[in-house]
Amino acid sequence: MQVQTVKVFQDFPLRGFVACASCGKPMTSCWSRGTGGRYPYYLCHGKNEDGTRCSQYGKSIRKEKLEGDFEVLLSEMKPSKEMFFLAADIFTDLWNIKRDTAKLEADKIRRDIIQIERKTEQFFDRIVETDSTTLSKPRKINSDREDSWA
């Protein structure tokens, strides 16, 4: 199922982002079969608040037309200077938050490493100081294998 979902979004990149002009609901997409093959379309499957179908329900728009119009719209859009600086500030703030979070995580990992090293050292000190013959002498773990010494 996931492969189909990825494929749909590759075939129809605006699916769910373009809204119907009549009802405002996100448009869906599909491939239709015709005599000459398969044809891609975007279409409305929206319902009004009272449960009735949108006046444009089922009306299909060719993929090439909708995506072409979208491309033209994007090419005509120019952000204002204020919008550009606002976006830069937002990206800078997000970057700083990510950086600070990464620093905190790195510090926690360093503390964890130090604690693990300390516990390991304590463990080895106990082994060295032990009087137990079980820990102080090498012993065979598995009699089937000759090289299995602990």
Which DSSP string do the residues of 66-131 spell out, in sequence order? HHHHHHHHHHH----HHHHHHHHHHHHHHHHHHHHHHHHHHHHHHHHHHHHHHHHHHHHHHHHH--
Whole-number Cα distances in Å, 16 to 24, 76, 102, 138: 11, 22, 33, 67
Final residue of a domain: which of 59, 76, 93?
76
Do 67 and 101 belong together in one domain? no
What is the DSSP code (8-state) at residue 1? -
Residue 145 lies in a domain: no
- How many domains does the chain fold into? 2
Do 46 and 92 belong together in one domain? no
Do 53 and 26 belong together in one domain? yes
Summarize pLDDT for 24-43 with one digit per residue, the tens: 899 999 999 988 899 999 99
Do 99 and 65 belong together in one domain? no
pLDDT of residue 1: 47
Do 12 and 50 belong together in one domain? yes
More confident of the two residues 135 and 115: 115
Q: Supply 86's token pair.
A: 């606002």
Do 9 and 53 belong together in one domain? yes
Q: Global pTM?
A: 0.49
The mean pLDDT value for 127-144 works out to 65
Do 8 and 72 belong together in one domain? yes
Give percent above pLDDT 70 in the chain: 81
Q: What is the span of the domain harbouring residue 109? A: 81-136
